[in-house]
Structure 1
Amino acid sequence: MLFSEAKEKKFVSNHSSFPLLLVNMFLAMLGIGLVIPVLPQFLHEFGAGGQAAGYMVSCFGLTQFLFSPIAGTIADKYGRKPMIVLGLCLFALSNLTAAIADDLLLLFVSRLIGGAGSAALVPSIMAYAADITTNEQRTKVMSYIGASMSSGFIIGPGVGGLLAEYGMRAPFYASACIGVLAMIGSMIFLPESLSLEKRLTRQQSKEKKPNVFLQLALSIKSRFFVLLFLVFAVTFGLTHFEAIYPLYVVQKYGFTTRDIAILFTLCSLIATFNQVMLTTRLIRRFGEKKTINFTLLLSSISLVFLIFFGHFLYVMFITMLFFTCNNILRPTINTLLSKRAGEEQGFVAGMNNAYMSLGNIFGPALAGFLFDVQINLPYLFGALVLLVAYFVSVKWIERKKAVTSMEWN
């Protein structure tokens, strides 16, 4: 009880820093999606094809994958704030590099730098939020973080498309400037959430974490695995959807860059509003497990429905539905992971980000390849992945009911 009260007071004392966390998470995800609407123009300028579009998004996830567990461990030992500041610095550098890129190779380099920034930033923010909340507060807080994460990732293409009206490189210059301002703001106003005592204790610990590949192998046998798999599936589905979305709607339905920007912006705003209003209510009424299962199934169905009809309002509704499901899924899964993490918030958040980055790697790359084979294949395959995730989740719940020693909560 005393511990809970102390945590409550800690959250109240740090409440002023929480909006800054949300802004930082939003900027991190914004950087992932920013390039998507201008991809057709960039690819045309550099003489590249559809497969390059998938690889462009995938390479972001590569460095995100490699550095996420390392960044999570460092955040546990030396604090969340240094990694948050470093992540924002790398994001600014990534966007500046993209803005001055004069060939495809430099553009790829910028995305690799951005992935490293995400690896430093995302798990540190999630661990920071866990530091200042109780289990009772965790659902609501993770919902807000999920909203900032999903809306940034989804709004990115919309903002990129609108800013592209002022020049193809304008989105990158704007994002670089915002990243620098966020970095300075975090340096000045963001307090460290991890106590000095805990940092010193963990720094003196001689326990060594295995490398990222061994961690992934070990995670398969861990109590987190199904949740981590769901993180991968949800991210795979979203990046699979977004990576070739501009090319898809342009080639199949004749949409313009402005149409794409409007679609992403409006749908993301509506989806974010739905997520904030619905997530907590759905969890309270149905629980995390049923909420996850329902939204996974609905996400899979919405991907299939996208290929049937090209009317603008219909496409907008399907896009909004898919984004809403994704926005609800991410914080719900993150909440369960955070509750199970205990004292290893940074490490588990790092593994969470590693699985998310695997989705960022394989989702876009495979989408680009399938798009070149047949235009509808990316969405059919993405729907299949989400459907498999749905059945895995349902099976996991049935198993948990039978084996109480492996309960989710």
Structure 2
Amino acid sequence: MTSAARGPDRLPGEIWVLIAGSFVIAIGFGLVAPVLPQFARGFGVGVAAASAIISAFALMRLLFAPMSGRLVQRLGERPVYLGGLLVVALSTGASALAQTYWQLLVLRSLGGIGSTMFTVSSLALVIRMSPPGARGRVSGLYSTSFLVGSLGGPLIGGLFAGFGLRAPFVLYMIALLITVAVVWYALRGSTLINPVDGGPQRTMSFAEGWSRPEYRAVLWSNFCNGAAVFGVRMALVPLLVVEVLGQEPSMAGITLTVFAAGNAVVLFTSGRLSDRFGRKPFLVLGSFICAVGTGGLALADTVPLLLITSFVAGIGSGMFSPAQQAAVADIIGPKARGGPVLAGFQMSADLGTVLGPILVGFLAQQLSYGLGLGVTGGLLALAAVFWLLVPEPMRREADSPARPAEDGSDSSGKPGSAPTPPGTEVSAPHPPCAESEGLGGRGGTR
């Protein structure tokens, strides 16, 4: 099948395999996360020790991210992705057999290592295989699949509640092993991962990424995203609902679900539109809207206002998240390996997730929840300002003439083509079916 036959809007099949994998992984995470603290408490430990199981997973993700980036550079994306899934699958299955708290703690820590392996490598694969003109669309699809899977996991887990607290771990292991087999089979001969032109010609170091203002901006905005969306929202909003508004704990779950609904409304559309209008409009506006919604939670003194501000914050998050991931793809481009750059991107969110609840929680305890949430909104607003001051990450690839050969003919063999002006970006000849698969020049490298 030629690329023309595919149609300009059709994504490579490998992308859909990764999106489906993300969905399964998210469902499994949603299966395990709700029962994990209760499972840990079953070993006779306190609430703090049970919470440490979750912190250990996040801490290992943070600490092992640089090593994951180096593994991607050395071994390639596919082996690290499959290896990470296997580590998570086996450690999760073994968790179902844990007989002591310390066994569970070690196994979940190993799961954190595997998690960061497949997170960094899957993002690298998505960048490599996404058509340059559809990176925002792919990011939106990828994020949406994970969001829907995360919401569906607890629902599926409820169907198996009668089998005990160990059952979700076994189900997650089986799902991951099936995912490993499917991804291995689907990507084993992909020319998008191992192009016929010899593959990536260079690697991008963290220092090279740091030298670009767009990358420094994306690190800051992802730190704020981790602090506000994954950290403070999960830690403080449930406490705000119960301790300040005097509502039942179930209302906290509804509030978090409303935030997710705001995400779902705009995730895919914002990613697709960022391919057309650029990343900055969605990064700036989305960060600002999320800042308004997060800060507005500080003023919410009724349940309706709480739900409205949570929905607004979710819309803002859904606007900037796909554009943010697509911006990293633009910076690296499809013709380079950027493992350390991707590891830094992931670490920025993980660091925000760890520090955000601690620092903002301290403000809330010493002063007020309102001040803590206001500061969190201020961080997001500052991220919007950062994006206003840096260049647009997306570089549109010009339709340039084919590079002439030494005998004066162009790449198609037709004589008489004019020489390509110095500095003009041209695309390398594509193998069959590659025109829409992002094997051209590195959009995003200056």
TM range (shorter): 0.7 to 0.9
Question: What's the counterpart of residue 323 of structure 2?
Answer: 332
Are residues 1:359 and 2:352 paired? yes
* Alpha-carbon separation, structure 2, partners of 1:125 and 1:371: 36
Q: Identity over the aligned pairs, expressed in percent?
A: 21
Correspondence list, 1:240-279, <5 A: 240=231, 241-243=233-235, 249=241, 253-256=246-249, 268=260, 271-279=263-271
Residue by residue, what CA displacement relative to the aligned partner does 1:287-324 show, whole Å, maximum 9, x if unpaired? 42232222222223323444555866655544443333
Question: What's the counterpart of residue 194 of structure 2?
Answer: 195
* Alpha-carbon separation, structure 1, partners of 2:128 and 2:195: 13
Moved more, 147-156 or 387-396: 147-156
Question: What's the counterpart of residue 404 of structure 1?
Answer: none
Counterpart contact for 2:23–2:149, Cα < 8 Å: yes
Relative contact order: is structure 1 or structure 2 higher (C-alpha 8 Å, sep ≥ 6)?
A: 1
Residue by residue, what CA displacement relative to the aligned partner does 1:239-281 show, whole Å, maximum 9, x if unpaired? 2122465566456644356x66666567535632431234434
The alpha-carbon distance between structure 1 residues 263 and 389, as it changes in their structure 2 partners (threshold 3 A), is: closer
Question: What's the counterpart of residue 12 of structure 2?
Answer: 15
Question: What's the counterpart of residue 301 of structure 1?
Answer: 292
* Alpha-carbon separation, structure 2, partners of 1:366 and 1:52: 21
Residue type of the partner of 1:352?
F
Instruction: State the 1:90 CA deviation.
Output: 2.0
Match of 1:391 among 356, 360, 382: 382
* Alpha-carbon separation, structure 1, partners of 2:343 and 2:274: 27
Moved more, 343-352 or 132-141: 343-352
TM-score, normalised to structure 1's length? Answer: 0.75
Moved more, 239-248 or 126-135: 239-248
Instruction: State the 1:41 CA deviation.
Output: 3.6
Moved more, 223-232 or 270-279: 270-279
Instruction: State the 1:146 CA deviation.
Output: 2.5
| SS in structure 1 at match of 2:193 | coil
Counterpart contact for 2:270–2:322, Cα < 8 Å: no
The alpha-carbon distance between structure 1 residues 319 and 336, as it changes in their structure 2 partners (threshold 3 A), is: same
TM-score, normalised to structure 2's length? Answer: 0.69
Moved more, 352-361 or 157-166: 157-166
| SS in structure 2 at match of 1:387 | helix
Are residues 1:66 and 2:63 paired? yes
Counterpart contact for 1:296–1:389, Cα < 8 Å: yes
- Structure 1: any 5+ residue segments left out of the alignment? 402-406
Query: Aligned Cα RMSD in Å?
Result: 4.2
Residue type of the partner of 1:122?
T
Residue by residue, what CA displacement relative to the aligned partner does 1:104-161 show, whole Å, maximum 9, x if unpaired? 4344334322221222112222222222233212121122123234444566566667
Question: What's the counterpart of residue 128 of structure 2?
Answer: 131
Counterpart contact for 2:140–2:271, Cα < 8 Å: yes
* Alpha-carbon separation, structure 2, partners of 1:244 and 1:157: 21
| SS in structure 2 at match of 1:229 | helix
Correspondence list, 1:141-290, <5 A: 141-152=138-149, 164=161, 167-191=164-188, 192=190, 193-195=192-194, 215=206, 221-223=211-213, 224-240=215-231, 241-243=233-235, 249=241, 253-256=246-249, 268=260, 271-281=263-273, 284=276, 287-290=278-281
* Alpha-carbon separation, structure 2, partners of 1:182 and 1:86: 12
Instruction: State the 1:171 CA deviation.
Output: 3.3
| SS in structure 1 at match of 2:96 | helix
Instruction: State the 1:332 CA deviation.
Output: 0.6
Correspondence list, 1:7-156, <5 A: 15-29=12-26, 36-38=33-35, 41-42=38-39, 45=42, 46-49=44-47, 53=51, 55-152=52-149
Name the structure where helix makes up a greater proportion of residues.
Answer: 1
* Alpha-carbon separation, structure 1, partners of 2:223 and 2:144: 18
Residue type of the partner of 2:268?
V
* Alpha-carbon separation, structure 1, partners of 2:348 and 2:157: 26
Instruction: State the 1:335 CA deviation.
Output: 0.9
Moved more, 275-284 or 345-354: 275-284
* Alpha-carbon separation, structure 2, partners of 1:264 and 1:231: 20
Residue by residue, what CA displacement relative to the aligned partner does 1:76-105 show, whole Å, maximum 9, x if unpaired? 443322122112112223432443445543
Instruction: State the 1:8 CA deviation.
Output: 11
Question: What's the counterpart of residue 343 of structure 2?
Answer: 350
Moved more, 6-15 or 217-226: 6-15
The alpha-carbon distance between structure 1 residues 135 and 15, as it changes in their structure 2 partners (threshold 3 A), is: closer
Question: What's the counterpart of residue 438 of structure 2?
Answer: none
The alpha-carbon distance between structure 1 residues 201 and 139, as it changes in their structure 2 partners (threshold 3 A), is: closer
The alpha-carbon distance between structure 1 residues 232 and 29, as it changes in their structure 2 partners (threshold 3 A), is: farther
Moved more, 36-45 or 177-186: 36-45
* Alpha-carbon separation, structure 1, partners of 2:240 and 2:104: 22
Moved more, 296-305 or 121-130: 296-305
Counterpart contact for 2:80–2:121, Cα < 8 Å: yes
Moved more, 226-235 or 148-157: 148-157
| SS in structure 2 at match of 1:138 | helix
